[in-house]
Amino acid sequence: TYNAVLVPYPSTTVLYQDLVTQIKKIPGANVISIEQIKNPNIEALYEYMKRTIAKECPGNDPNERELFHGTGDKAIEGIINAGFDDRFFSPSGAW
């Protein structure tokens, strides 16, 4: 397993509200909940790599971008148990 857990994202946060605003712009999209898959091991590695990249960039800016996607229950379990598989994206950017 990937030591990942599913954590509900609090609706009181700015990020939650921003995501809902963005998603409402998509015709037919409806927000049921926003949850985050957390994996402490991968997060630590990501932060290390981000710091390493930042050292090589002007102004120590790693040019990080946050990306989000929606999916169904079955896919969430797969991501938690086996990791994120980018082979399943569509050309439109949907999963």
Checking if the pLDDT of 92 tops 70, the result is no
The amino acid that residue 51 corresponds to is R
Whether pTM > 0.85 for this model: the answer is: no
Rg (C-alpha) for the chain, rounded Å, is: 15
In whole angstroms, give the CA distance from residue 29 to residue 21. Answer: 11
**CATH number for the domain harbouring residue 13:** 3.90.228.10
**93, part of any domain:** no
**10, part of any domain:** yes
**95, part of any domain:** no
Checking if the pLDDT of 94 tops 90, the result is no
Q: What is the pLDDT of residue 82?
A: 78
**26, part of any domain:** yes
**50, part of any domain:** yes
* Of 77, 84, 76, nearest in space to 42 by CA: 84
**94, part of any domain:** no
Checking if the pLDDT of 73 tops 80, the result is no
Residues spanned by the domain of 83 = 5-88
The total domain count for the chain is 1
Residue pLDDT, tens place only, 8-52: 989 999 989 999 998 889 888 888 889 988 888 889 999 999 999
